Structure 1
Amino acid sequence: MDKTASGWVSGFIGVLIFSGSLPATRVAVMDLDPIFLTSARAVIAGLLGLALLLVFREKRPGRHDLLSLIIVALGVVVGFPLLTALALKHVTSAHSIIFVGLLPLATAIFGVLRGGERPRPAFWLFSCLGSALVTGFALAQGVAASPAGDGLMLAAIIACGLGYAEGAALSRKLGGWQVICWALVLSLPVMLVLTFATLPPSFASVGSNAWIGLGYVSLFSMLIGFVFWYRGLAQGGIAAVGQLQLLQPFFGLALAATLLHEQVSPMMIVVTLGVVLCVFGAKKFAKQDLPRRAAA
């Protein structure tokens, strides 16, 4: 299997893992405070990440890598988990998953700004079309019903897209699992303090489902998923492999309907199928055409 194909396989596995993030977060915030959930998941994943770095005796990143690691930490360790947890206090996971369809466009834009990639013009057509389908669906559902929830989800997408692109670019140098582990370790002191500051007075009212949700987002969403995802983005290209996120709403909606018994309307399925088709068009035009002299 060549490097590009391996990147797409790794990216697909990462998307499958991330698809359970929002349903698991939705379950967890029913019994746990969103801020406590965000910090606790980061602490659990951070301790595991620190153990991995120590076991494999990984070399510390250089000073010039710290800014990139801080951006990754702010985007995917703090920003996206906290903003989505707050949003899921206002909207269902099925509704929030639709916004994930905007992630490929956000990731591609930051891939250009931070990763130096230059997809072909047709790529942007398919990427924007997929995003337009998602946004149009959200508007049709009536964003006025929960402007706070939708605003928080949009902010989460921007933070996540930046964290994805920055981490993928850094993964080419440090390695995929190393990047997310160092970002988690970097944020660990602050997250430890925040966890104890927001510790509930009692866990008696916290159900088993909430603990399962916390376990999933800590182990899979915060650590294991990124091992595959950053590797996929680094090998297959940030903009190209990032379009696999268009598949995430499909898997997420299936989980929301199966596990949480949330209603999935026929329009949700139609929109999801539409964005899935866009991923194939975007994949075809993801790489920039090089002049013959440059290619030679």
Structure 2
Amino acid sequence: MAMSTETKSLWLGSIGVLTFALTLPMTRMATGSALEPALSPWFASFGRAAFAGLLSVVYLLATRAPRPTREDAVPLVCAAVGNGLAWPILLALGLRYVESVHASVITGILPLATAALAALVFRRRPSLGFWFFAILGAALVVTFAWLRGAGVSVAGVSVHWADSLLVLAVLSAAFGYAFGAKLSQRWKGEHVICWMLVLLLPISVPCTLANWPQSPIPLSAWGGFFYISVFSMWLGMFVWYRALAMGDAVRVSQLQLAQPFLSILLSAPLLGEKLDPMTLVFGLAVIVTVFFAKRMPTQTSVAPPAVAASRA
């Protein structure tokens, strides 16, 4: 029997979530740790934007995508800076000093941060229930960071400082997704991400060349870089947006609840990181708060697909 459209959308959504779940461990694989560095976080961040941006040029020309208008300039710049620059840079820097399983818990609050900023951009009024779970989720993340980071220092850098980088990464991504959502109301989702990356090419290409590694880099690090450039930054978004367009966007977006947990589980075999009960408990608790928060009512329409697609 032919597979239904809804079933196809859920399968594509699952592939997208799995793709994004690998972003954290693959970023850590690309950059290494403070004690065993690989690619520079700056090269990994600018390089993934540059590589995906060049692919985007080809795609936009091949599909004859419409060009941005003057009206699109502000949201496009905000989305590009938030998602294409600040998020990958802060994430890569933070992952130099904390393990991927740790970062998965911190960044698990991203859907709540995106919804909160989208409420401001779209002038929505989330219910008190939403804000309750949003504050609860933030409190869980802060508590986890404090319990795991108290008194710990890696290569002279406090883990608390690394956690602050991850929190700033979450806020940057949420900022970018909120403005990207405005563009997705008029454009196809894949065109949004492609134009964002093309806009960044005058910055990403020179900065990639300026930070090109001068010493031999392990093949595994290049593999991680290839993954975050092609899949995390580009193809993953294509699959995810297609899933949202084919099926029920609200239902498909719920698949993201499993993403932090998948990142935690995948980090163990890929990076040899250890799972401990505290990480699993806090990771599950954050997922639960996101689950309930996304079910709280608002006084206006449901968030556009790009808001639901809060992973890159």
Q: TM-score, normalised by structure 2?
A: 0.82
Q: Gapped runs of 5+ residues in structure 1? A: 291-296
Distance, in Å, in 2 between the alignment partners of 1:123 and 1:256 is 30
Q: Gapped runs of 5+ residues in structure 2? A: 33-37, 153-158, 302-312
Q: Would the alpha carbon gap of residues 169 and 14 (structure 1) be closer, same or farther in structure 2, given more than 3 Å must change?
A: farther
Q: Would the alpha carbon gap of residues 43 and 232 (structure 1) be closer, same or farther in structure 2, given more than 3 Å must change?
A: same
SS in 1 for 2:109: helix
Aligned residue in 1 for 2:189: 176
Aligned residue in 2 for 1:197: 210
Aligned residue in 2 for 1:116: 123
Distance, in Å, in 2 between the alignment partners of 1:129 and 1:241 is 24
The answer as to 2:25 corresponding to 1:23 is yes
Distance, in Å, in 1 between the alignment partners of 2:100 and 2:199 is 29
Aligned residue in 2 for 1:258: 269
Deviation at 1:133, TM superposition (A): 2.1
Q: Would the aligned equivalents of 2:149 and 2:160 in 1 still touch at CA under 8 Å?
A: no
Distance, in Å, in 1 between the alignment partners of 2:300 and 2:10 is 20
User: How many pairs does the alignment contain?
Assistant: 285
Q: Would the alpha carbon gap of residues 172 and 14 (structure 1) be closer, same or farther in structure 2, given more than 3 Å must change?
A: farther
- Which has more helix, going by share of residues? 1
Deviation at 1:103, TM superposition (A): 0.9
Q: What amino acid maps onto 1:258 in structure 2?
A: P
For residues 158-195 of structure 1, what are the alpha-carbon distances to aligned partners after superposition, in whole Å with 9 as ceiling and x for unaligned?
Answer: 10111112112211211100000000000012111111
For residues 104-131 of structure 1, what are the alpha-carbon distances to aligned partners after superposition, in whole Å with 9 as ceiling and x for unaligned?
Answer: 2210111111133333322222333233
Q: Would the aligned equivalents of 1:123 and 1:282 in 2 still touch at CA under 8 Å?
A: yes
Q: What amino acid maps onto 2:42 in structure 1?
A: I
Aligned residues: CA RMSD:
2.7
Aligned residue among 52, 64, 69 for 1:62: 69
Q: What amino acid maps onto 1:193 in structure 2?
A: P
Q: Would the aligned equivalents of 1:16 and 1:251 in 2 still touch at CA under 8 Å?
A: yes
Aligned residue in 2 for 1:294: none
Q: Would the alpha carbon gap of residues 64 and 143 (structure 1) be closer, same or farther in structure 2, given more than 3 Å must change?
A: farther
Distance, in Å, in 2 between the alignment partners of 1:135 and 1:231 is 34
Distance, in Å, in 2 between the alignment partners of 1:248 and 1:76 is 18
Q: Would the aligned equivalents of 2:45 and 2:85 in 1 still touch at CA under 8 Å?
A: yes
Q: Would the alpha carbon gap of residues 180 and 27 (structure 1) be closer, same or farther in structure 2, given more than 3 Å must change?
A: same
Moved more, 265-274 or 126-135: 126-135
Q: Would the alpha carbon gap of residues 150 and 243 (structure 1) be closer, same or farther in structure 2, given more than 3 Å must change?
A: farther
Q: Would the alpha carbon gap of residues 13 and 163 (structure 1) be closer, same or farther in structure 2, given more than 3 Å must change?
A: farther
Distance, in Å, in 1 between the alignment partners of 2:262 and 2:28 is 15
Mapping of residues 244-255 of structure 1, within 5 Å: 245-255=256-266
Aligned residue in 2 for 1:293: none
Q: Would the aligned equivalents of 2:79 and 2:180 in 1 still touch at CA under 8 Å?
A: yes
Q: Would the aligned equivalents of 1:8 and 1:241 in 2 still touch at CA under 8 Å?
A: yes
Q: Would the alpha carbon gap of residues 6 and 67 (structure 1) be closer, same or farther in structure 2, given more than 3 Å must change?
A: farther
Deviation at 1:54, TM superposition (A): 0.4
Q: Would the alpha carbon gap of residues 226 and 114 (structure 1) be closer, same or farther in structure 2, given more than 3 Å must change?
A: farther
